[in-house]
Chain A
Amino acid sequence: MDAKIVPDTIEDIEIELLLEAVYQHFHYDFRHYARASIKRRLLHARSQLGYDSISAMQSDVLRDRTMLPRLLNYLTVQVSEMFRDPSYFRALREKVIPHLRTYASLKVWVAGCSNGEELYSLSILFREEGLAHKTMFYATDINPSALKAAEAGVYPLEQIRLFTANHQKSGGHSSLSDYYTAAYGRAVFDKSLRSQVVFSDHSLVTDAVFGEMHLISCRNVLIYFNRELQNRAVGLFRDSLARRGFLGLGSKESLRFSEHASAFSEFVGGEKIYQRTLP
């Protein structure tokens, strides 16, 4: 790797130490996340939580139990939407689903599911395509409050217009309103959409393979990792996929720089959908 051009500031050193402390004490490992973004978010946390320095914040993080969940909400990025990048979901629908139809039962892993938007999108898509009854979904994340929100499946009503437009563009052939009830400014998604979903705390950085998947959708998560972490996560996906299973990434993520690239072939290149090649 190229050397740094500008020496570390005191702030950079404090950030390094905070991430080390969070790792040693809580086993959340952000040490090798893409640093520029982490730094911005930690500086934001420092000012919003009212600390003069990252070191002062670290002291509280280690001692005050209420601090870790708050810090996690800064260290992880929880920006998502249903049917985000509709063309990705359209490609799944038109190109991947025909292959998945041939299986008697299916396992789908939504890795880094955030508040559940992507999971519900897939759950709806699989229902529309008549595959829901034979599919088990695994929705994982490291942020406990995101997982809780994902299990609840409640979103602000303001977002529904965007979600609905995305769903239509993804080739949806039902109405999104069939799947939620609106109340008090919120859209509450139907719990039948998660009747075959296992939500669990799982880290792509520190945890292992837990099942054999036919489709893994991991979008806008690898972008926050450095290359080594990306390699680890992609290795995990390779080992988790059934023969000829599918891997979908975010629209600005790719396997091009990955050391495991040869284990996959491009399936829908423009949509970052890959297929596991035969070993």
Chain B
Amino acid sequence: MTGRAVVIGASAGGVQALSQILPALPEGFPLPVLVVVHVPPRRDNALVELFAAKCRLGVKEAEDKESLRGGTIYFAPANYHLMVETDGAVALSSEEPVNHSRPAIDVLFETAADAFGPGLSAIVLTGANHDGAQGLKAVAAAGGMAIVEDPATAEVATMPSAALAACPSAIPMSYDQITTHLQELAAS
């Protein structure tokens, strides 16, 4: 357990945005990266295959009760919320959708904020809804780093704009700035 982690939430346009960010993570990246993408329910997680082919880090679907490891990208399975326990283990849940979504970004961000506090970086990417806004606020309140994709350049600005409105201390960043930030995390 490194005590640090990265969480990312994406919705409409998310696969494109993640393709700019995840493949840029260097081999040996020391933090676990947890990702929620809104996907239609009841579809097998094609995201894992897609990104495993593009990324230098290990890519997998998060499994209930597994311990998070650095250098691994974990995707939420379709139809389950992805959470982090305070001991740094994954917890899945099939409870009610939040913001009409399961998995929901808020659920991941809020539980990860509880678990990692200042050791967390959270990024809200493109999307057409408001999921992630409350979660990002919780991340900032727990001392973590709150980032949104720059609404000016995001494919769909609604989600990063909503997150910025709920969490004014969040920093809008371009893809380049986001990958630079992540590389700095790896170095620090």
Q: Chain A residues in contact with chain B, CB under 8 A?
A: 1-6, 12, 34-37, 39-41, 77, 79, 220, 223-224, 227, 230, 250, 252-254, 257
Contacts and interface: CB of A to CB of B under 8 A. Distances in A.
Given A2-B87, A5-B117, A6-B114, A37 B3 contact: no
B157 interface: no
Quick one: which of B1, B3, B63, B85 has the most chain A CB within 10 A?
B85
Contact of A37 (B63, B95, B116): B95
Given A36-B114, A223-B64, 15 more contacts: A4-B86, A4-B87, A4-B115, A5-B115, A34-B85, A34-B91, A35-B85, A35-B86, A40-B111, A79-B96, A223-B94, A252-B92, A252-B94, A253-B64, A254-B63
Contacts of A230: 65
B111 A36 contact: yes
Interface stretch (B8-16, B76-84, B146-154): B76-84
Nearest to B110: A40
B90 to A, nearest CB: 10
27 contacts: A2-B1, A3-B1, A4-B115, A5-B86, A5-B88, A5-B115, A5-B116, A5-B117, A6-B117, A34-B85, A34-B91, A35-B86, A36-B84, A36-B86, A36-B115, A37-B83, A40-B83, A77-B95, A77-B96, A79-B94, A79-B95, A220-B94, A223-B64, A252-B63, A252-B77, A252-B94, A253-B64
A35 B91 CA distance: 9
A97 B101 CA distance: 35
Contacts of B116: 5-6
Contacts of A41: 95
A252 to B, nearest CB: 5
Interface residues of B, number: 31
Contacts, number: 78
B94 to A, nearest CB: 5
Nearest to A3: B87
Contacts of A4: 86-87, 115
Nearest to A8: B86
A3 B115 CA distance: 11
A35 B87 CA distance: 10
B155 to A, nearest CB: 30
Nearest to A220: B94
Contacts of B84: 36
B146 to A, nearest CB: 16
A231 to B, nearest CB: 11
A12 B107 CA distance: 17
Contacts of A257: 65
B85 to A, nearest CB: 5
A5 B65 CA distance: 17
A39 B152 CA distance: 36
Quick one: which of A36, A39, A79 has the most chain B CB within 10 A?
A36
B60 to A, nearest CB: 13
Contacts of A224: 93
Contacts of B47: none
Contacts of B107: 40
User: What 8 A-B pairs come out closest when comparing CB atoms?
Assistant: A6-B117, A36-B83, A36-B111, A2-B87, A77-B95, A5-B3, A34-B91, A4-B86
B92 A223 contact: yes
A6 B115 contact: yes
A79 B98 CA distance: 13
A6 B142 contact: yes
A142 B151 CA distance: 47
B69 to A, nearest CB: 11
A93 to B, nearest CB: 19
Contacts of B63: 252, 254
Contacts of A34: 83, 85, 91, 93
Contacts of A79: 94-96
Nearest to B62: A252
B128 to A, nearest CB: 24
A219 B54 CA distance: 34
Given A36-B83, A37-B95, A252-B64, A2 B111 contact: no
